[in-house]
Each structure stands twice: as C-alpha cells, then as structure tokens.
Amino acid sequence: MTSSKIWLSSPHMGGNEQKFIKEAFEANWVAPLGPNVNGLENDLEKYLGSQVSVGALSSGTAAIHLGLILLGVKTGDEVLCQSMTFSASANPILYQGAIPVFIDSEKETWNLCPIALEEAIIDRIAKGKKPKIIIAVHLYGVPYKIDEVRVVADKYNIPILEDSAEALGSSYKGQRCGTFGDIGVLSFNGNKIITTSGGGAIVTKTKSLKDKAVFYATQSRDNAPHYQHSEIGYNYRMSNICAGIGRGQMEVLDDHVGLRRKMHNFYVDLFKTIHGVTVFSVPNNDYFANYWLSAITIDSQLTNGIDREILRLAFENANIETRPLWKPMHLQPVFEKYPYYGNNVAETLFEKGLCLPSGSNLTANERERIAEVVRTIFV
C-alpha cells in the first residue's frame, strides 16, 4: 500500500499543550493535582456556562461510574440506558452491581427514544421496581431529544446522567451539552474532539457535589492527619500533566468543532447526488452538533445493492479507516440477558450505518482520496 493511512479520528494538537506540560515539570507538579487541573476545570466551567462545576478525572468511564455513585445507584437497582452507545456508557452500571435496562433509539437523533423510555418506566414499575436513573447519550455529537426526555424523567422523578463524552462543543437551544443532565460526563480520550491523551470530567450543578466526586476520586480520605476512610474510594483523578494537554486543547476546541463541521459539510456535498445514502444530520436548528464523527446510512435497495460492508471494504482497500455504528448493547454477548424496550431502530441503524473519517486534521488531499473511493463505488 503506497498511501498513508487515513484515520477515523486522530489526536490534533494545537501547539500550547507542551507549554503547560513544561510549566508542570518546572514546578515539579507531576502529580494528580496542581495548577493545570484547576486551570482545566476553570476553562471547562467557563466554556460550558450554566454555572456548573467541573471535576477533572482519569477517564469518561470514571466520570460515569462516579455519576452513578453520586446519584445513589446501588446493588440491585435498575438503570435505564440508551442501547445504541459505546459500552463505556453501560459498564459502570455493572461495576455498581446494578441492572441495566436498555432502551431503543428514535430515528431523528439516533438517541434515547422518549416513547420507549416511558414504556420501560411504566413496565418496570408494574414489575415492582422503579428505575433509579436514566443514562442518555449524545451520539456522534448530535444532542438527544433534550426536552422530550426531560419531560419523561420529571414525570416519574428519575434523574438523568448525561453522557456527553462525544458532544463537547455541541448545544441545544443555545445551551451547551454536558449541562442538561442532573450530572454530566465528558471524555478526553485520544479519539475525542479534544484529548488529554486519556481523561474525562464530571459536570455537576453544585460545587459541593463536585467536591464529593473529587473526594471519591482521590480514595475517599477523611479529614485527618493519618489516612482515615469511612467510605470506599477510587483512584480516578486526572494528573496535572494530562490536564496541561487539556488546557492547550481548550484553546483550539472551537476550531476543532468548526473543522469537524466542515468535514460533515464535505460529506453532505459528496453524497448529495447519491440516491440511498443519507448523511446523519441534526433534525432542526434547535440542535447544534460538533459532528465529532460524520456518519451515513446506506439503503442498499436504493443503491443497486451497494451496502455498508461493500463501502467499508472499499475504504479499507484504500487504507482509509471507517467503522460501523455502535453495536447496540442489547445485542452484545455480555449484555444480551438484560431487559430491552423498543423496536429495531438501533438494530437497523447498526446494519446500515458507517462512520467516516472525521478528524479536524484531515487534509484536502486526504479528502480527495475519500471522495475518489465514493466515486468509484457509486458510479
């Protein structure tokens, strides 16, 4: 293979990351606390608005786990979770010994279906147990149906854990994603819109809840000169080095959002004359997506039999990475024994959908290589 690999989504440094890391080394703040951690938390609080508090953690998964703990999820509790998502949305339910109840997506945002959600709540209550919380996800940076899901949650008085791991920079009616849930979650993994090489954050409505999250994240140390513990703790805090990368990345976050949205527009343009291929886009102007990943669905009955797999393999032969959409959790071997509510929306999306290279650092030449594959397949 002669041409270099085009990745789905790769890290994209802005330039000032090393400055913050250098400062940390010079001050010997090579530890899981320090000025970069506070600095990143302040940057995120300012960016998100809505007077939230932010705690920087070692991963988005850690943030989901602590979110469940802060919302009181315990052994045997039931947690309603969007089925179509990355497994990290659901794994912490099992860490807590709780029971996931998976919910289908709706077709417009590919996220939590408010109708299936309410059906599930009614049925779980009838079966004897009211669900403890709802985990809702903004897949690929497209906000879920914020208002509709909130109405259902409030009607039954069930808090929402908002998995905004893919949606930093997205918003709904002008309010930033990450601030809609009773608790919000961000991720700075290597493939996300900004990265700390690995990291995440928890977003809370009050400073005291953030402090509680940080307490759990630093081994639940009681206030004493010796090591004293009244609660089980975790080692989930972000390091000052990783936070330094994050501060540099915050300076370029809005640029990255703009560039990812440009990639989305590139695909809208590329596929506009190709019958049977739909580029995943927001339903209306209330929604603003960072388009972390651009995704398409292919209806092979309208494309002379060209399906998701044929296109994926054509890209693979050209050394271009693409990936099917998230395989729904209720179809995963590890989760298939748990209850599921809904129809086959998520399942059908999984069969027909493909994520395309979406990085903010893709070049014009790389875009041309992508376009060439599409032109060859859909002659």
Ligand X SMILES: *Cc1c(COP(=O)(O)O)cnc(C)c1O
The contact set with ligand X (CB under 6 A) reads 59-61, 85-86, 88-89, 137, 163, 165-166, 187, 189, 200
Q: Are 272 and 296 in contact (CB under 8 A)?
A: no
Q: How far is the CB of 189 from ligand X (least distance, A)?
A: 4
**Minimum distance from CB of 89 to ligand X (Å)?**
5
Is 168 in contact with 177 (CB distance < 8 Å)? yes
Question: CB of 187: closest distance to ligand X in angstroms?
Answer: 3
Nearer to ligand X, 192 or 210 (CB): 192
Neighbours of 147 (CB within 10 A): 12
State the amino acid at position 261 in one-letter form. Answer: R
Minimum distance from residue 276 beta carbon to ligand X (Å): 28
> Is the Cβ of residue 184 or residue 200 nearer to ligand X in the bound state?
200
**157, 164, 191, 197: which is closest to 18 by C-alpha?**
197
Closer to ligand X at the Cβ: 199 or 271?
Answer: 199
Distances (CA, A) of 313 to 107, 150, 172, 237, 349: 26, 40, 36, 40, 18
78 vs 163 by CB, closer to ligand X? 163
Q: Please say which residue, 37 or 165, places its beta carbon nearer to ligand X.
A: 165
Q: Which is nearer to ligand X, 43 or 166 (CB)?
A: 166
The nearest distance, CB 47 to ligand X, in angstroms, is 18
Q: Is 354 left (phi over 0), alpha (psi -120 to 50) or beta?
A: beta
Task: Tell the residue number behind the tokens 């009181």, with chain if given.
Answer: 72
Q: Which residue is nearest to ligand X (CB)?
A: 60
Q: Could you identify the residue written with the tokens 């060859």?
A: 376
State which amino acid sits at residue 144: Y
Question: By C-beta, is 36 or 189 nearer to ligand X?
Answer: 189
Element at 200 (helix H, strand E): strand 200-204
Least distance from C-beta 56 to ligand X, angstroms?
12
To ligand X, the closest distance from the beta carbon of 374 in angstroms equals 26
Taking a C-beta distance cutoff of 8 angstroms, is the pair 144, 159 a contact? no
Please tell me the number of Cα atoms within 13 Å of 6 on its side-chain side.
27
